[in-house]
Amino acid sequence: MGVTALLIWGYFVIALPLWVAVEIVHTRPGHRAGWFPALFWTGRGLALAGVTWAAFGATYGARGFWHEVWTQLRENYPALLRGYRMTIILTLLSFALAMLLGGVLALFRTSESRLLRATSGAYVEWFRNTPLLVQLFFLFFALPKLTLPIFGRPDWFLLSPFKAGLIGLTMYTAAYTAEALRSGLLAVDKGQTEAARSLGLNYVQARIYVVTPQALRIAVPLLTSIFSALFRNSALVSAIGVRELLQTADNIQQNNFKTFELFALAGVMYLSLTLPLAYASNRLEHRVARSR
């Protein structure tokens, strides 16, 4: 019995029943999985692994599917971790930028000027209603061919895959963060602005120091799910040649034909971040719902 088999059987005999117990405690009304949340989501990931193992195990002989996956991880971990790092860098950078851009757009959208409202509305509608992949193709394939009336064809229109991916993800996500922040801004009571104004703050100060912090707090659950969506959407930049996680797995897979193993590995690596995030966002939603 190899180490992998031991791990898998150990999981089925010990972790799975424990996890089922946690799950039942969690879903019964009035109870939360306050104790041992780590087991809660690890269990889910491992259960998925178990199901896949059961589904593919038959075609992989005695040692099983996940043994192959483990081998792939052992052989290719430097490249895969580089890809993972790239995915995380892209996500964090573009989320930070999208928060800035989205914040500006949300302030425009709720401002008193009709022009600003219209501009921001058009931006949000356009970027929310066209596919991210088309936007990325625009930035990467079409932008270098754009000739402007006076400037001609600036060199910086020829974007590197990383820059195109970063800008594309930022602009797409900003449309969503703008909507989230707008709903947060609208949820803040009007009396807050009026109170701040009567204390002597001007309109801009009232927005920035009084309304925005409260709006951010209200928007946090929405922003978490946007962040998770962004993390998953970052897989699309592999289409324009950024060496992130999916692209790395795909490259290795094209050399050694271990297609399933590598995509399963990439899947587990994505889940390692999205499942805890989903858990956190559920908890946050509960907390916000209770505090209201």
Partner 1 sequence: MDAIWGHLLDLLPGDWTLFKEWPYWRFLFEGLWVSVQIAVAGIALAILVGVIMAVARLSPIPIVRVLATTYVESFRATPLLLLIFFVFFGAGRLNTGGAKDWPILDWFLDDNSGDLTPKASAILALALYNSAVVAEIMRAGILSISKGVIEASRTIGLSYLQSMRYVAVPMALRRMAPALVSQLITLYKDTSLAALIAIEELLRRGKILYEAPSLGNHTIEVLTVVALMYFIPNYALSLLAARLEKGPERRAGDDAGGASIIETAVARG
* One-letter amino acid for residue 211 of the chain: V
Q: Nearer Cβ to partner 1, position 171 or 196?
A: 171
Among 233, 242, 248, 252, contact with partner 1 (rule: CB under 8 A): 233
Q: Does 221 bind partner 1 (CB under 8 A)?
A: yes
Q: Does 263 bind partner 1 (CB under 8 A)?
A: yes
Is residue 142 packed enough to be buried (19+ CB in 10 Å), middle (13-18) or exposed (0-12)? exposed
Number of neighbours of residue 262 by Cβ within 10 angstroms: 26
- Cβ atoms of 80 and 248 closer than 8 Å: yes
Q: Whole-number minimum distance, CB 106 to partner 1, in Å? A: 13
- Cβ atoms of 186 and 165 closer than 8 Å: no
Among 12, 60, 157, 260, contact with partner 1 (rule: CB under 8 A): 260
Of 157-186, binders to partner 1 (CB under 8 A) are 176, 179-180, 183
Q: Nearer Cβ to partner 1, position 39 or 133?
A: 133
Q: Nearer Cβ to partner 1, position 71 or 260?
A: 260
Among 18, 54, 100, 146, contact with partner 1 (rule: CB under 8 A): 146
Q: Whole-number minimum distance, CB 6 to partner 1, in Å? A: 23
Interface characters, 115-144, with partner 1 (x: CB under 8 A): ----------xx-xxxxxxxx-xx--xx--
Q: Whole-number minimum distance, CB 113 to partner 1, in Å? A: 22
Q: Whole-number minimum distance, CB 124 to partner 1, in Å? A: 10
Helix or strand run (H / E) with residue 92? helix 65-109
Q: Which residues bind partner 1 (CB under 8 A)?
A: 20, 23-24, 27, 44-45, 47-48, 51, 59, 125-126, 128-135, 137-138, 141-142, 145-146, 176, 179-180, 183, 221-222, 225-226, 228-229, 232-236, 238-239, 246, 250, 259-260, 263-264, 266-267, 270-271, 274-275, 277-278, 285, 289
